[in-house]
Amino acid sequence: MQPRGCKGSVQPALLAFCLMGLLFGHSPTHAERAATQYLQPQTQQPTVSRDVSLMSTRVVFSIVLDNNIDNSTDNNTTSAEKAIDQAINEFRRIEAVMSEWQPDSEVSRINRNAGGDAVEISFELFRLLQAARQISTLSDGAFDISFRSAGKLWDFRKATVPEPDQVQQAIQHIDYRRLELSAPAMDSEVSEQGELPKARISHAETSIGLGAIAKGYAVDRAAQLFRQAGFDAFSINAGGDLYVAGRKDENLWKVGIQHPRERDKLMANLPASNLAVATSGDYERFFIHNGQRYSHIINPHTGYPASDCQSVTIIAERAFWADALATAVFVLGPSKGLALVETMNGVETLIVDDQGEVVMSSGFQGTR
């Protein structure tokens, strides 16, 4: 993980704020989220942009045209539009594989067979599930895709707090180690025997959801498609998860991180290039009951919404990694979360703790 252009570059700033969406993994009836991150292009060059609802999130794709690639801006525009079409299809394809809400997805198939036989899955999902497991191990189970049994108890529309014994019961079903993954002997797209990897959940009442990682993964895939199409200056902003690419040594984008309690304020404004930024906060999806705020990130050890942070921003090379780590650090809280990030090369964090105090990793601190 090697973010460029971020170390030593954060300055507190107040900027006007625009709305972006975030959220993956909720039923389509769910209202779209407002934004946690604001992108400012630092260029006058023509840009092709599209704003579209994907994975229950407002996603904005922007490609900056480079007039040197081709003398005709028209041609560039057409190929940028095409690349954006491909990225949109890719988001939809990933959702169809990874959503826990679509009954035909691979993830739903794994969940339906919990306690039963292993099911065949794609290499793509296999690799993402392996990464999820790695983050669970690193975070000592703070990140756990089997959070769902407890997650289900918290209905944000009804805004009710479940009974303590229900929560107690639910956490018995959470354990990322219950997801068994097996790969065919050769880890290639198709093994010699044409075999696929397999996944099995060992306990019938345990189920998985990729709401904290799949959207980041889709952002990474879109970035890959843009590069393959020959573009090297673009942004993909999926609300809480974004990726920005800029030409070398050019601070093409500025990423603003929303203040968790004041909608119109930004916590930080950082020039960014060729890196991912993800923010998890308690201010988009939450309810308040008896003065206590309950948000959508669940501490798998307690079954209650994590409450040691107001927001966590992670900078990393890949968006799926930033996405999942933001959730992990949100659960771990400022001190353990910061300690985890400091062990990782090329990963930086900005944490707002439960009192509104800002804590930053060493790469951020240099500049304050």
- 77 membership: H or E segment, kind and range: helix 73-98
- Give min distance, CB of 123 to ligand ADP, in A: 22
Residue from 79, 206, 327, 349 that binds Mg ion (CB under 5 A)?
A: 327
* From 65-73, 121-129, 260-268, 290-298, span contacting ligand ADP (CB under 6 A): 290-298
C-alpha 18/C-alpha 315 separation (Å) is 21
- Identify the three-state secondary structure at position 128: helix
Region near ligand ADP per CB under 6 A, out of 143-151, 193-201, 262-270, 347-355: 143-151
Q: Using CB under 6 A, which of the segments 86-94, 137-145, 248-256, 263-271 binds ligand ADP?
A: 137-145
| Count of residues engaged in binding Mg ion, rule: CB under 5 A | 5
Among 240, 271, 333, 334, binds ligand ADP (CB under 6 A): 240
Triad 229, 51, 96: Cα angle to 5°: 75
Structure tokens at 101: 């809400």
> Among 87-95, 145-153, 244-252, 259-267, which window interacts with ligand ADP (CB under 6 A)?
145-153
| Count of Cβ atoms closer than 10 Å to residue 257 Cβ | 23
255 neighbors 39 (Cβ within 8 angstroms): yes
The CA distance from 314 to 321, in Å, is: 9
Which token pair is 82? 């095409």
Q: Between 21 and 246, name the residue whose CB sits nearer to ligand ADP.
A: 21
Residue among 280, 307, 310, 313 that touches ligand ADP (CB under 6 A)? 280
Question: At 318, which amino acid appears?
Answer: R
Query: Is the alpha carbon torsion for 83, 55, 107, 220 positive or negative?
Result: positive
Q: Which residue is nearest to ligand ADP (CB)?
A: 211
326 is an interface residue for ligand ADP by CB under 6 A? yes
Q: Does 303 engage in binding with ligand ADP (CB under 6 A)?
A: no
Examine residue 212 and tell whether it contacts Mg ion (CB under 5 A): yes
Closer residue to Mg ion, CB minimum distance, 201 or 326: 326
Q: How far is the CB of 137 from ligand ADP (least distance, A)?
A: 13
Q: Out of 98, 242, 266, 326, point to the residue binding Mg ion (CB under 5 A).
A: 326
Pairwise CA distance, residues 78 & 80, whole Å:
5
Which does residue 23 touch among ligand ADP, Mg ion, none (CB within 5 to 8 A, set by kind)?
ligand ADP
Binds Mg ion (CB under 5 A): choice among 95, 106, 282, 323: 323
Binding at 273: pick from ligand ADP, Mg ion, none (beta carbon under 5-8 Å per type): none
The string of DSSP letters for 173-204 reads: T--GGGEEEE--SS-SSS-TT----EEEESST
Q: Is 124 helix (H, G, I), strand (E, B) or coil?
A: helix
Where residue 110 falls (left for φ over 0; alpha for ψ -120 to 50; beta otherwise) is alpha
**Residue 190, burial from CB neighbour count under 10 angstroms (0-12, 13-18, 19+):** exposed
| Residues binding ligand ADP (CB under 6 A) | 22-25, 143-145, 147, 151, 209, 211-212, 240, 280, 284, 296-298, 300, 323, 326-327, 331
